[in-house]
């Protein structure tokens, strides 16, 4: 139990998780205002605006920089980790989403009239646009900086 309390006292970890949760909540608000729907799946889904992955890793890197120093090895590791996650969110996962969209279209065309196809459709919203990643980046940095002011 002492380990759990130690983990919960890790300011950088808590701020990074908070940044991700705040990002997911913003996605819900955008869904409500944009589509006039209260869709709780947005809270646990991937993709969308802003990128929760980017918010999490940028808050993490910012927090590490604040705590360990901007010239520390820990900050370098956290920053490179953030860059890889954001590149993946905007690049690889978005490409996979485009491929899923095309495969779903092919399946729709092949199995149109009366033909049955039992497979589930592929999830198309996997990644983020570069803009969504950048917004997540700045959101994470802002949350880490604001959190730093409060303690």
Domain boundaries defined on the chain: 2-150
Region 115-121: mean pLDDT is 58
76-109 per-position pLDDT tens digit? 999 999 999 998 887 776 666 667 777 777 777 7
CA distance 18 to 146: 12
Decide which of 104 and 3 is more confident. 3
A 10 A CB-CB count for 55 gives: 30
Q: What confidence score (pLDDT) does residue 112 get?
A: 67
**Is the pLDDT reported for residue 56 higher than 90?**
yes
15-43 per-position pLDDT tens digit? 999 999 999 999 899 888 888 878 777 77
Q: What confidence score (pLDDT) does residue 90 get?
A: 79
**Is the pLDDT reported for residue 68 higher than 70?**
yes
Residue 40 DSSP class = G
């Amino acid at each position: 139990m002492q380990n759990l309390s130690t983990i919960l006292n890790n300011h950088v970890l808590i701020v990074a998780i908070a940044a991700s949760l705040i990002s997911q909540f913003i996605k819900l608000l955008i869904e409500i205002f944009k589509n006039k729907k209260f869709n709780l799946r947005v809270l646990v889904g991937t993709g969308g605006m802003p990128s929760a992955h980017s918010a999490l890793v940028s808050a993490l890197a910012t927090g590490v920089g604040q705590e360990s120093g901007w010239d520390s090895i820990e900050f370098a590791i956290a920053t490179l980790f953030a860059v890889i996650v954001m590149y993946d969110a905007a690049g690889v996962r978005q490409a996979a989403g485009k491929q899923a969209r095309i495969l779903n279209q092919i399946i729709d065309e092949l199995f149109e009239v009366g033909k049955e196809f039992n497979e589930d459709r592929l999830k198309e919203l996997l990644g983020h646009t570069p803009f969504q990643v950048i917004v997540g980046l700045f959101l994470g940095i802002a949350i880490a900086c604001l959190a730093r002011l409060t303690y």
